[in-house]
Every structure is written in structure tokens, then in C-alpha cells.
Structure 1
């Protein structure tokens, strides 16, 4: 845009902008990126993954190391894509904060914590606007970056359900907003790291704030689909775990809960956070991501899921015993038989419910296993030992 000043590096000037102008500039950046993306060549589309013709593979060019891509390469990419979907998709949008950190690459966490010495660390992030369940965060770029800022979008996926739980009880409301910020989140960032490494995974895992979505496989930047989020998202999500930011989110939740009108009424415009509020929010001292603590929380969640599976097995056994007893109803009176049939229907409903839970647990077992292994690999353990540790943990939980 001609009316937006640029820096000496040719990037848009984002320093000192109002929240309105900040979003206007980054809307233009998104438009520019979309146009550039349309001109991309040699991309691996979903269609190409399924239809691996030799001519199309040759058009992809050479991979790192100078060799041409092969059908086996594309088969591996397809397996990685399916693994990403199985790891993150659970039928609901978003991933929790613990899962986000547990699956992030160590280098991204170090940069988010400014624990690197090459100028790529970041130090600050400030909410600039919020509209219902979408929070916009302004993140100051690293010293080594040509950009001045990046824009992170965070969407609270449990917003509607938790909105219904708000009361006049201040303490309860604080617990609700903590649950919201630690719960399922979807996100997006304009930076190249997210665009070329992680947006594809976010789209496959159903935790992308769209637009934009990415369907072209990151064959060069992230062919193994490792990691979850860039340093800007990690830093913003970590600061979101502090009371300072949560108070501001709760303020909007209460306003929405009390409003009269449709939830998507155009009069319910975006709330732009004032300079005074931003200064107060900048006093947020929750800037360091504790990967070890999130790993422990994720491990605890896995153990609880294993225990739940055992409990469901035990309950199903009890239901089977009751079911056998009910077969004796043939010798009962009509009134007794009617009552027994009502009990049978109730038991069948519970059985169906438990069967569904067991299926969900089975589906999530592979998710838990990969998450456990990724978390240990992130700490330095090799993948074989990490898998053995997982099986040891599962066996221990069943004792």
C-alpha cells in the first residue's frame, strides 16, 4: 500500500501504530503474502500426494542434497501428514497450552525465552485488540529480524462453553478464565517460521486460525513435520497464562455474556486496547515458557487417560453381570418385566456411552504415545528409549 511507510529494509513500518492501524497494516501484509503464495511453484499439493506421477515429481525439482524427489519421498510425506492429523485432531478445534509446549521444538522455546545468543530471541508481546474469542497480540520482532513486529492471532475454542459458566462469583470467574487460557487454542502468525514450517501442521491438526490455511506440504523447510508453533506464538501463549492478561480477557467475556443482541451483531465491534491498558499489560512477568513443567502436566494427563481406560473396562464387566441377571425377566410378572426393560434400556445407554469412550481412548492412544515420545526426545532422549519409556509408563499405570 502506497500510504504505509516502509523501513530501510523495505518492510512496512509498524512501530508506534495505534491498534487500528496495526491491524490495518497486517491485513495488508496478509494480502501481500496471499498474492505471493499464489505465484509459488514446485509445491506438493494434496492431489499430488495421492497421484504421484513421475512427471509431476520431476517438476518438484531437487531436494536438499541435490537428489530429485522420489515416490518414496512423497509416500513418507503422506505418512507424516496422517501422523500429524492423528496427533492433534481429536474431533475438536484447537490444542491445549500443555500440548502446544510439549510438542514444540526446543529451539523455538529457547528463542521464545530469549535464551539464544544470536539475536533471534524475543522479549515482549502486548495484546492490542480482542473481539469475542479472537485475541490479537503485537509481538516485538527479534534484533536479527528485518521486521519491527509480528501479529499473532489466538482464538479461544472453549469460549462459548465457558461463557455460560460465568457468575457473580469473582473467584469462580478467575478459575474459568484460567481454564480458557490453558485450554484449547487455535492460532496464526504472519512470520516466515509459521508460514513455511508450521501452518501446514496447524491446518492438518485443526488448530489454525483461518484465513489463511495451508495445504501444500513443506517439503523443504519441515519435511518431517516437527514442532507446533513459532517463538512468537509460544511467547504470546505463555504470557496468556498470567493473571494480568487473563483479567483483560475476562473483562471481554463478561461484556459478551451480558450483551443484548446476536453474538455476531456488527455493533459488537472489535475492542481496541488503549495505550494505558497496554502499559499495564506489559507488566506481565510471565514471559518464560517452562517446558519441563508442561511435559509433566502432559505426562500426568496421559496416565489419567490410561487409568480411565482401566476403569471403563471394569465398569463394562459389571454391566455384563447385570445384563445376565436381567435375562431372568421371562419368569417375572408383566409389571416386573416392564420395570426390568426400563433398567435394561438404561444399562444399554450406559454401555453405549462407555463403548464410545473406549473407542475415543483407543484413538487417542497413538496421540498420547507420540506426544510422550516427542516430549522426551525434546529433552535429549533417543526415540527408541523414549518409546520404551512410554510402554513402561503404560504398564505401570495398569498395575
Structure 2
């Protein structure tokens, strides 16, 4: 593993690195954090949240207001967790751009737009590369931050579908496909503390964070009410991705992967780190301001369409259920009639068979009696029993011959 330079505070130097070095240093930062996290204690894990053991609760320490956590706090946390899962977790991975912005805290949006005067705003971001369907973005940290850069990752969850649609289409259609993809469902990640301690738990529960890491420990101190969804760096980066310049670069990767004969997710073939000239051209992207009001309006329209569709599906399902019930009832009626018909036919067959067997037995008895009468008459006429039986056979033959 490469050794990266650190400053006098022990932080990795993230400025002036090539796109590949930039990506690698943040992989190293993640590994270091993972090691430190293994030593953590007093975390509000799902087990503690469920058990609500008093001794375990006391181990959690005190809230920011200075008082200890209570069972009521944990019950409130569990309600918040269930609400988040209900709000964001669907049948598919990811969150749309409109939903992410609409549900973000207004202060995070203001900082993403640099509409603050305390030095916590974002001013620039650079599109550094693509790792298969994951965009790698360098967001310059705010003036107030102790860090210099943050890596934001945006994974396009409809990538496979877009790749198939883009292949063989004209340029205009491909651009529309790319535009739709970046607005559609994405999963996100940022290495900043805000995302780590405030939002990764929400994103894990909502199934729109890039893992690893997943976060199952409740943010009891930083975000106990589970408000918001993303940090200013993610909001800023995803907003810039709505610009045509960045979308065109994503489209280039889509086209390249559509023509590739390698595995679709082969990292050696699908990882691209952009050149300095490419990054400079991409930095001309003017799409930098996030309009939360417009995003909320768009998300509300989207939600209304989903609700309308769900209503139609329910109505259709009810109609289909009624139709199916009628068909089943009809089928049962037909089956019952058919069963009755078959049983009646079986009874008639059994009766006819019994009658036939009776007639056959009656005929057999009659023939035996006639045979015996013939033989007895021949014996009385002076023939031996053997001569009488032969005479009977000759009599039968003569009858059959006639």
C-alpha cells in the first residue's frame, strides 16, 4: 500500500494529488477509520435499542443536554427508525435527486450553495473519475473545516438499464438517457464527519448508501430525531451532476462500457481516472446551485404520480380479485356438475354390469340344466352316461351347424 503524506496534525494531505492517488488516499482513510471504529464503546446498537436494559442504557452516557438517556428516549429512537425505514426503504436501491434534496436539512442546502456567511459553505467540486457505475468527485472542504478535501461517491442504480438503452441509439436519445439516469435512483457516500455521524444511519436504513460501510449504530447524540438525509458535499456534488457537462462525461463511460467485451464490472477495464485537461473542462460546469423548493415540488409531483399509480393498482387488483373469484366459483360449479355427471354414469355402468352378469349366470344355469335333462333322457333310453355325454356334444354341434 502506498504511503501518503500527512500534515503536522496527522491528517492525510489530499491536495495536489492525481485522480488515482486521490481515490487511493481516501480508501486508506476509510481503512484507518474502520480500525478506530472497532475500538469504540457505548454505542447504541440495535440490540441495546431493542432490549432497553437499564444497565446498558446507563453505559450510553449522557445526552448533549447533560442528562442520562432514558427508556423513553430509546422508544422515541425506535419510532424514528421505523419512520425512516417506512419513508425511504422501497423495493429498489437508491434515492432520486429530487427526494434527496427535498428531504435534506435547509442548512445543508444553504451550505451546499455557499449561502452562509460563517465560512461553512461549499465553493467548488471536481469530477475526478468513474469506477464502473460510481462517479468519484472531489469536493473542496469549507474554509471552516480542518480538512482540505472530501471524496463523494455517487452510484447510478439504473446504470445497467441506461447502458442497454444507450447502445445503438442516436446522440440525442443517449443524452436524454444520461440525463434521466442521473436524476433517477442513486446511492451515495461521503467521508466527512457530517455524513458519518448524522446521515449514514439514515442512508443505511433507507438503502441508499454505498457500502461498505453500513451503519447500524443509532446517532443518539448528533441526530437523535433522524432529520435530513445528506451532507452539503453530497448535495453539492449531486447537483453538479445535473449539469450537461458532467452528464456528457458519464455518457462517454456508458458508451465505452456498452462496447466492452470484458466483464461489465471488471475494475481494471471499467475504472477511469480523468486527465487534468478533462477535469479542467468539466470544471466549467455551471450547475452548482441547489433549488430545494423546486426539488420539493418535483418530488411531490413524483409522489403524487406514485400514489395515483398505487391507487390504480389497488383498484385493478380488487377488480382482478373479484374476476378471479367469479372464475373460481364458476370453475367449482362446473367441477361439481361434472363430478355429479361422472358419478351418475358410473352408477349406470355398475348397474348394467350387474344386470349383464346376472343374465350370463342365468343363461349358464339354463344350459347346465338342459344338458343334464338331455343326458338323463339318453341314459333312460339305454345308453351309458359316457355315450349320453357324447350324444349331447353331437347335438350341440348340429345346432351350431344350423
Normalising by structure 2, we get a TM-score of 0.78
Deviation at 1:295, TM superposition (A): 0.7
For residues 223-280 of structure 1, the C-alpha deviation after alignment (integer angstroms, 9 at most, x for no partner) is 0110000000000000000110000001001111111122233541510011000001
Please list every run of 5 or more consecutive structure 2 residues that lacks an aligned counterpart in the other structure: 335-402
The yes-or-no answer on 1:99 pairing with 2:99 is: yes
Q: Which residue of 2 aligns with 1:63?
A: 63
Q: Which residue of 1 aligns with 2:236?
A: 235
Deviation at 1:310, TM superposition (A): 4.0
- Aligned 8 A contact 1:198 1:228 in 2: yes
Please list every run of 5 or more consecutive structure 1 residues that lacks an aligned counterpart in the other structure: 334-399
Secondary structure, aligned partner of 1:224: coil
Deviation at 1:75, TM superposition (A): 1.3
In structure 2, relative to structure 1, the CA distance for the partners of 1:49 and 1:314 (3 Å cut) is closer
Q: Distance in 2 between matches of 1:324 and 1:51?
A: 45
Q: How does 1:35-50 map to 2 (within 5 A)?
A: 35-50=35-50
Deviation at 1:64, TM superposition (A): 2.0
Normalising by structure 1, we get a TM-score of 0.79
Q: Which residue of 2 aligns with 1:259?
A: 260
Q: How does 1:1-399 map to 2 (within 5 A)?
A: 3-166=3-166, 167-312=168-313, 314-315=315-316, 319=320
Q: Distance in 2 between matches of 1:90 and 1:327?
A: 33
- Aligned 8 A contact 1:132 1:253 in 2: no
Q: Which residue of 2 aligns with 1:357?
A: none
Q: Which of the pair has more CA radius of gyration?
A: 2
Deviation at 1:8, TM superposition (A): 4.8
In structure 2, relative to structure 1, the CA distance for the partners of 1:248 and 1:52 (3 Å cut) is same
- Aligned 8 A contact 1:11 1:146 in 2: no
- Give the number of aligned pairs: 335
In structure 2, relative to structure 1, the CA distance for the partners of 1:54 and 1:259 (3 Å cut) is same
- Aligned 8 A contact 2:257 2:270 in 1: no
Q: Distance in 1 between matches of 2:3 and 2:308?
A: 60
Secondary structure, aligned partner of 1:247: helix
- Aligned 8 A contact 2:239 2:287 in 1: yes
For residues 328-351 of structure 1, the C-alpha deviation after alignment (integer angstroms, 9 at most, x for no partner) is 978xx9xxxxxxxxxxxxxxxxxx
Q: Distance in 1 between matches of 2:317 and 2:40?
A: 54
Q: Distance in 2 between matches of 1:3 and 1:305?
A: 50
Q: Distance in 2 between matches of 1:58 and 1:317?
A: 51
Deviation at 1:319, TM superposition (A): 4.6
- Aligned 8 A contact 2:264 2:270 in 1: no
Q: Distance in 2 between matches of 1:62 and 1:324?
A: 59
- Aligned 8 A contact 2:201 2:219 in 1: yes
Deviation at 1:213, TM superposition (A): 1.3
For residues 186-205 of structure 1, the C-alpha deviation after alignment (integer angstroms, 9 at most, x for no partner) is 01101010010011111111
- Aligned 8 A contact 1:238 1:287 in 2: yes
Q: Distance in 2 between matches of 1:245 and 1:120?
A: 25
For residues 372-392 of structure 1, the C-alpha deviation after alignment (integer angstroms, 9 at most, x for no partner) is xxxxxxxxxxxxxxxxxxxxx
Deviation at 1:305, TM superposition (A): 2.6
Secondary structure, aligned partner of 2:165: coil
Deviation at 1:83, TM superposition (A): 1.0
